[in-house]
Every structure is written in C-alpha cells, then in structure tokens.
Chains A and B, each alone.
Chain A
C-alpha cells in the first residue's frame, strides 16, 4: 500500500529565509513523486514532479525538491520565501507497480510566510 507523510501541519518562516516542507513516502516499486500547492478557495496547482533521473527537481515559482531514495523522502525547498508563498502544500506519490494512476496524497502542510 502507498502512503505519504507530511510531518508538519504548519511551517512558519520569515520572508527571505529558506523554506523547507517535508515529505516521506512508502510505495511498492519505484516512486513517482509530486508536489502541489493550494491557495485559498482554489484548486490544487502542480509544482513539480520526480519520475526518474536527477535527484534534484526544479519546478514552478522557484521551488525545487530533492529525491532521497535511502531516506524515502522528497522535501520541497525554496531558497528565499515570499509572502505570496503562503499556502497549503501537498505531497503525492504513486508506485510503479500500481496498475493505475492512483495518487496518494499527504494531509498537507500550511506554510505561513511573515513579512
């Protein structure tokens, strides 16, 4: 069975400081990993994905994520946070032995960036 853990319900960071949102996963086979962001009263927006290849993945709005197979983690990072990055962030995973494109989502991490 697939599972995703986002250990922090909320992350607080000052504007200009580095931002990290943690995600760990469990899947059968190799993982396909995704990050999404949700602004208030909006749908989820795709940020980035890891399928294969380079462990450091770059995505939209200056975000990047690092895949670590030994630690089964896929943490989202941004070198310098903006107030506009305040939102709800979701990590999602599916395994390659899954016969269908079912994504397992984490519970979400609220990011609050203060001026």
Chain B
C-alpha cells in the first residue's frame, strides 16, 4: 500500500456525531484524494487536494469536509454522521495529475 496509512481502520459511531478520518503518506506526492466505496457504485470521489490548503469537491461531497495543512496529511471530516455515510473510505495519492493513483488500506465506517 505504497507508503499510505489510514486511521482508524475501523470505526463505529452514532448518527449525529462528528467523525474525522486521517490519511498519511510518506511519498511526498502532491495530489491526494478521498473516495468512498459502496456495492454497485465502484469508487466515488468525495474531495481531492492539489496542494497544501488547496482542496476541491468531488462528485459526492455533501456532508463531508476536508483539510490539508501538511503535504503528508489529508483529513476527511463528517460533520454530523448519517447512516447513508456507512461505507468504506479510501485515500489515494498521485505524483502527477495524469498518472496512476495509489490507494491506502481503507477505513470501514459504520454509522448506527
């Protein structure tokens, strides 16, 4: 998993609580991404970052926010978790826009 760690790896939380997922890379890649994986949908982009403090929305960004204060860390926050946000969340990195992305091991989030 190419120098990418995600924490926590598993989390169960209650509806309405805030949740923060962390992605940490040791590759010094400029671009970082957050995806969610749901059966039948493949991976869908939530937010992405093209540099420190430079972020933008993906296709399923509602209910999520991100921050990137250092090159190596990209945080995903669910401001008030809902059951529809139960999913597996993957972080990815890439060195160049057009090159392949490398994925972390994932975080399985359950919202009860």
Chain B: minimal CB distance from A89 (Å): 11
Contact indicator per residue, chain A 47-64, by CB within 8 Å of chain B (1) or not (0): 001010000000000000
Chain A: minimal CB distance from B37 (Å): 9
Contact A94 B40 (CB under 8 A): no
Which range contains the number of A residues in contact with the other chain? 20 to 34
* A107 and B40 in contact, given A34-B100, A46-B100 (Cβ under 8 angstroms): yes
Residue ID in chain B nearest A101 by CB atoms:
B97
Residue B34 lies at the interface, judged by CB distance under 8 Å to chain A: no
CA distance A100 to B101 in the complex (A): 13
Interface residues of A in 62-109 (CB under 8 A from B): 90, 94, 96, 100-103, 105-108
Residue B78 lies at the interface, judged by CB distance under 8 Å to chain A: no
Chain A: minimal CB distance from B33 (Å): 8
Residue ID in chain A nearest B97 by CB atoms:
A101
Contact B90 A90 (CB under 8 A): no
Contact B98 A51 (CB under 8 A): yes
Contact B98 A101 (CB under 8 A): yes
Residue B70 lies at the interface, judged by CB distance under 8 Å to chain A: no
CA distance A46 to B100 in the complex (A): 7
Residues of B within 8 A of A (CB): 1, 4, 31, 40-45, 48, 50, 56, 58, 90, 92, 94, 96-106
Ranked nearest first, the 10 interchain pairs of A and B with the lowest CB-CB distance are A43-B103, A101-B97, A105-B42, A44-B103, A105-B43, A107-B42, A46-B100, A43-B105, A108-B42, A43-B106
Residues of A within 8 A of B (CB): 4, 32, 34, 36, 41-46, 49, 51, 90, 94, 96, 100-103, 105-108
Can you list 5 pairs linking A and B with CB atoms under 8 Å apart?
A4-B42, A43-B4, A46-B100, A100-B97, A108-B42
